[in-house]
Structures are given as C-alpha cells and as structure tokens.
Structure 1
C-alpha cells in the first residue's frame, strides 16, 4: 500500500504557499506559467469560504470536456474532502479562470455512476497520481462537473 501524504502543519503550510504562488504566476502570465502541473492543465477556481465568507482561489488540475470542465476533489486528507470542495458545493455558481485569461461562470455538480467512472479514467490519464492517491483513502474521491452557468 502506498504511503499517504504527510499531514504535518508544515506540509499544509507549504501547500497553501505553493497555491498562492501558482495563482500569482498564473494571473501575471495569463496561464503561460502556472497553467500546468506535471504536464496536466490547471485552472483557477474561485469559491467563498463557508465559515469566513472570504473569496478564495484554488489552482486545480482539470479536464476540458467541452462545454463542461471536470475537476477532482483529491486533496483534503485521507478521510475528508478538501474545504474548497465543500465551499464549491455550497454555491449555486462561481467562476473559473482558464489559461489565456478566459473566465467562465460555472455551476458545480458531483458526477456519479457510469459518468464518474468514465471521467475518472480520463482524469487519471492526464494526471496519474490520482490513481495512486485513491489507493490509500477510504473515501470515494468526488469528480466534479462544472457546467456552464446560465447568464
């Protein structure tokens, strides 16, 4: 069984700092830098903290399933979904920023059944560590479909 990621506060502090730096580079260069992670495409997801009410932005690996976008809620510990997932699912709509500065208004939903299985396989094809991560968590990692929102 693979070793789970470190759960120390220093590790998560580094993760937050890296996400802030990635967001800065992404926006400054319109996705030319920070628009990929280990070869996988990255978008910026805007969401509002449920407890703080603060606007937050997370860089996430995504699958372009036009006109939809697909992301996966992998990081959050081995037994909990990440906070951004809970924040996102509490919102009716939000915005994402794609490389090139394109912004899209989207509404989230969780894929299940055959749709989830098909999308999961495609996500693992673009970012192999998802398959590894799934082997050491008891939870089913959510696959989130970001549908275009009505204007």
Structure 2
C-alpha cells in the first residue's frame, strides 16, 4: 500500500516578491494608472490601490493589493509575501480603519475590519477560485500565525 506524501507548497524568495511589487508600483506610476489595477474576474483576483494613514507618522501611505468582491465589500488577505510579520498597511488600518481605495473605475471611501470566526473561514475559502496550484490554506500553514482576512466596507463621503 502506497501512501501519498504531500509536500508543502513553495513560495518565491522574499527578494523576488518585494521586487515584483516594486515593479508593479513602478508600472502603475509610469503609465499614470492605466496599468496595475483590475477588477476580479473568474480565475483572477483584482488589484486595487489602498490609501492609509501611517500608524506612527500619520503620513499618507499607499499599497497595491490583491482583492476580491463579497457583495459590496472588498476582501483582502493581510499577508506579507507569506512572511510571518503582518504587512504595514494592515497595521496602519488597525490604527486608522478609515481609508480609501482606487479601483479601475474610480475611487471610494472604505472602513476596514478584520473578519472573525465563520466569516473569516468563508472569506478565506473565497480566495480558492483565484489560486492556481496549492490551496490558500496550504500556503497559510507555512506561517506561524493565521492570515487576517480584511473586509473593506464602503462608506459615505
């Protein structure tokens, strides 16, 4: 009787992930925003620009992030290239949850919150259609802490 042994998924080295995001932000800037943002579609997550306030500096901060839509809400994974540390944008949102996002068809104000319990599990599973290869859960197991699922709820103003 043979036993199937599952090997953990591999992720690119940290330097590669950081370089890819620098290039992505650069292309967005060079093209004046014509490249770099996208709505989610079957099999492909969307890309948005998140504007936050620095938790210690109160300076404006911007990050380009993957997302998908859950009704009117936008769902983000607070991962840091699968590193254990939380990303700065999530730490900023915890301190100042009111933010704004740029989407391909315009901007909107949002308020961030972390999904908990069954909602978190449902939103985590919602990433699976956008992952080709190992499941998001398998990638999450590479970390010593759970990946926060962040919900950006549209607000007025």
| TM-score category (smaller protein) | 0.7 to 0.9
For structure 1, the 5+ residue unaligned runs are: none
TM-score in terms of structure 2 length: 0.77
Q: CA deviation at 1:68?
A: 1.1
TM-score in terms of structure 1 length: 0.80
Provide the secondary structure at the position in 1 that maps to 2:90.
Answer: helix
Of 58, 61, 64, which residue of structure 2 is paired with 1:59?
64
The 1:77/1:120 distance shift into structure 2, 3 A limit, reads closer
Q: Deviations over 1:82-118 (max 9, x none)?
A: 1111011211311001112x11100000001111111
Counterpart CA distance in 2 for 1:72 and 1:111 is 10
Q: CA deviation at 1:72?
A: 0.8
Counterpart CA distance in 2 for 1:87 and 1:22 is 24
Q: Deviations over 1:2-41 (max 9, x none)?
A: 345424xx54652452242243267531xxx222499321
The reply to whether residue 73 of structure 1 matches residue 92 of structure 2 is no
- What RMSD, in angstroms, separates the aligned Cα atoms of the two structures? 2.6
Are 2:82 and 2:140, in contact at CA under 8 Å, matched by a contact in 1? Answer: no
Of 36, 49, 54, which residue of structure 2 is paired with 1:49?
54
Q: CA deviation at 1:44?
A: 0.7
The 1:92/1:2 distance shift into structure 2, 3 A limit, reads closer
Alignment correspondent of 1:149: 155
Of 104, 128, 138, which residue of structure 1 is paired with 2:144?
138
Are 1:4 and 1:78, in contact at CA under 8 Å, matched by a contact in 2? Answer: no
Counterpart CA distance in 1 for 2:67 and 2:76 is 5
